[in-house]
Amino acid sequence: MAGIPGLLFLLFFLLCAVGQVSPYSAPWKPTWPAYRLPVVLPQSTLNLAKPDFGAEAKLEVSSSCGPQCHKGTPLPTYEEAKQYLSYETLYANGSRTETQVGIYILSSSGGGAQHRDSGSSGKSRRKRQIYGYDSRFSIFGKDFLLNYPFSTSVKLSTGCTGTLVAEKHVLTAAHCIHDGKTYVKGTQKLRVGFLKPKFKDGGRGANDSTSAIPEKMKFQWIRVKRTHVPKGWIKGNANDIGMDYDYALLELKKPHKRKFMKIGVSPPAKQLPGGRIHFSGYDNDRPGNLVYRFCDVKDETYDLLYQQCDAQPGASGSGVYVRMWKRQQQKWERKIIGIFSGHQWVDMNGSPQDFNVAVRITPLKYAQICYWIKGNYLDCREG
């Protein structure tokens, strides 16, 4: 009987890969697809020894396994997918657990399982690429920084960026807190920073709205209660599986009281509005500034989006989002469809080419992350 779950897993993977669901309600209005999603549920939890928190924080990840490398590798089996989606939880007191999961299909037309297990080897380079003219925009002034969607971007005390995805939860890249072998220095006392206006003597100053000088901002920090990292990242650490599982969820000790951005299943690149993605992050070369950018998607695999958005270290962990029409509510809605991870050198027809890479939120990853947030799979049936 062990082969039956594997066959179902492969069937739903193929259904999703060929695009069973039409993404459009009208040719001129890109619409969020309606997915039937699998369920990822905890099965058992094991206590682990406390980590040593000895890794150096890496603000970017490198890999030389490009689109063809990923597309040419075998699909993970059902058992492998369960291993990759099992996860490690780190608590503020330094304790740690490992949770094994089960994957279930609860309907006859479930959303597919989009996973690729790819061998890749790291390749370092000087710093992340700026592609031609620097097309990034620094966001100034509280009227922009404190308003949606820019207000959903937060800074991690380890140096990366994160995105608010619930009242107490932040989505970021796994490498921002874990190097694949152990947790980075500072993770046990991990904090999340929110940009807020910096007033002198408690006053707002004179005529802030018309001032030509950018308003001074400061970070207000909230401690992290616990973190979740998929075992696909810990087992692979970007050298065996690539960046496919480079994502993590942080739970704050208290609500942040800001509007957040929901996560969504990543549609195929050709169905994105204009073929573009957007994200904002705290690039290191512009300290204290939130930097916004958008660009076209150049290629994709089941787990990754390849693009040439200008970015520098520090932007890792940013939530990649798009704005599409929500048919049920009859309104436009932005959703996080990926996490900005790092860069890859890709052999394009014998010529090396550099891409920045985002991890796609696939149906299984959505089911996992949503369960981490909600704690109830019934609230995670629509991506």
- Which residues are marked as active site? 175, 240, 316
Taking the C-alpha atoms of residue 344 and residue 301, their distance in angstroms, rounded to an integer, is 13
Burial 77-93 (b: 16+ CB within 10 A, else e): bbebbbbbbbbbbbeee
Hey, which residues does 63 pair with through a beta bridge?
A: 344
Count of positions (residues) in the chain: 383
Structure tokens at 254: 């208290």
> By CB neighbour count within 10 A (0-12 exposed, 13-18 middle, 19+ buried), where does 311 fall?
buried
Phi, psi of 318 (to 5 degrees): -60, 145
Taking the C-alpha atoms of residue 121 and residue 238, their distance in angstroms, rounded to an integer, is 8
Closest CA to 346 of 242, 275, 260: 242
Closest CA to 59 of 166, 186, 159, 199: 159
E-strand stretches of the chain: 24-26, 29-30, 39-48, 62-63, 87-91, 96-104, 137-139, 153-156, 161-164, 169-172, 191-197, 217-230, 248-252, 276-281, 290-300, 304-307, 319-326, 331-348, 351-360
Side chain identity at 301, as an amino acid letter? T
Side chain identity at 249, as an amino acid letter? L
What lies within 8 Å, CB to CB, of 364 at 6+ separation is: 38, 40, 81, 85, 103, 113, 114, 115
Cα separations in angstroms, 269 against 21, 58, 70, 254, 367: 14, 28, 16, 36, 21
By the 8 A CB rule, do 296 and 272 touch?
A: no
What lies within 8 Å, CB to CB, of 328 at 6+ separation is: none
Taking the C-alpha atoms of residue 336 and residue 360, their distance in angstroms, rounded to an integer, is 9
Taking the C-alpha atoms of residue 174 and residue 249, their distance in angstroms, rounded to an integer, is 8
